[in-house]
Chain A
């Protein structure tokens, strides 16, 4: 067993997913099978191999620090589930 149900519950918490018990158990079983499969990578000796994070070698892409038009408040807030006084509205954080 690579992944216990308790570990899966911890991962769900990190991933901000509120999963009911049945869904969590099913996911844990499926993830366990997938993790067993990906273990085959350990057959390979990768000592001294550079990790690759990108397909194309590139440096930081900087642009000129200029003010350009942006989409503006109204359009930026248009898709918000709740907005008030030109701000995104969220449930109360501090009592």
Chain B
């Protein structure tokens, strides 16, 4: 057994017993990253010296009896989190040389607990994408099959966990960016309720949808990492001032008597038969564990992708206006003047998908089209949220597939943006509604590709979500999947 085989909970125990040091564990991960990063392209930046210094400090803290739950645990974060003194690119050329002057709150909380930060993970540029192919630093690869995408936009965060290049990671999820790659890589990923984790210092894509969350090997590990970053933050005006539950306290409570809804609109033609089979088997497992399975309806599901691509792009066009080549980021000055400098810096700094979304969002917000597109989408968003509210009047949780297919091949969808967008059809509605959801491994296809199921909880019901996921994980045969 190698040190990198220990999950978060196991490493935590060994660190507490003194049988393993954080420095040893950190070295093991750094070695593994060196040996495998060319294959997977998961890390954009590796913080070797900083990580070892953090590990040494963690070991001192542990021997002094001052350990927090994440002290000494080697973690990595998506390259969208500002990290003081470390390059933070958001997967973009325009931030290729950007060294952040401060820490995102989520990163600061990990540091306060004495966690070790191994580095910054690959992602679709500005979190826009479902395959990681929009990264300016080349796509991360799926460790189950390196000819396939790891999913996106937090593809690096999910692939890194599957490849055992960190104990666990943080990602962000705007339309499925944690859950879809977690599903494609066979790991556990959780998108908390909007407002549960601070977005301060997380480079913004679509501010009313973005949310920070954990990716890990097990449900318990996911709970531990969420516990470490969740909570109110005065620096994020949209974070919610509400106590954080103890996510581990009730984890083993089981699902007996729990009402689990199956949204009929999610089990559609076009769903890959192997995905459907795996999810149906999971439903049977829940039935066997004593949950009550209830059909429900989310009638506006079919409108979610259209709604999302207006709201998210509108917000993106506004958020990304800050990259103008003056205060930070790449400047391309053609000597023609200020506005011309803005225009060429942005044209050369942004990749095609980011430009496409900025253009779409600018159009949706422009005079004469605002009511027809942006306002219309905001009203449809209300209808989508009402669907979830109505469903949650009848059930405690919803269970669906995460993605219509397993991981697709690199290059398969790059030339058809709309097809790429439609791969997020089951994950997008949650972000619009603002509720929480997670991806839990529930099978392997004949080609040995992981399949994930999505559990959806009421707003701020992360504890219930984790409890149900844990019950399945313990009962099922898909614990801690790993590629050969």
Contacts and interface: CB of A to CB of B under 8 A. Distances in A.
Nearest to A18: B343
B475 interface: no
**Secondary structure dominating the interface of B:** helix
Interface residues of B, number: 73
B330 A16 contact: no
Contacts of A54: 208, 238, 434
Contacts of B102: 71
B480 interface: no
Nearest to B100: A79
Interface in B91-106: 97-99, 101-102
Contacts of B433: 55
Contacts of B237: 58, 60-61
Interface string A24-41: 000100110111011111
A54 B101 CA distance: 29
Interface residues of A, number: 52
A66 B129 CA distance: 40
B47 interface: no
A56 B238 contact: yes
B341 A79 contact: no
B300 interface: yes
Contacts of B356: 27, 30-31
Interface string A45-87: 0100111111110101101000000010001101111100000
B101 A79 contact: yes
B327 A79 contact: yes
A92 B3 CA distance: 58
Contacts of B182: none
Contact of A50 (B307, B309, B360, B382): B382
A52 B383 CA distance: 9
Given A16-B342, A30-B417, A91-B341, 16 more contacts: A12-B359, A16-B346, A18-B343, A31-B359, A34-B309, A51-B378, A53-B378, A54-B238, A55-B195, A55-B209, A56-B434, A76-B101, A79-B101, A80-B327, A81-B328, A93-B337
B95 to A, nearest CB: 9
Contact of A41 (B327, B344, B380): B380
16 contacts: A3-B363, A16-B324, A16-B343, A19-B347, A30-B356, A37-B418, A38-B309, A41-B310, A49-B383, A50-B382, A71-B101, A78-B101, A80-B328, A82-B331, A91-B333, A93-B338
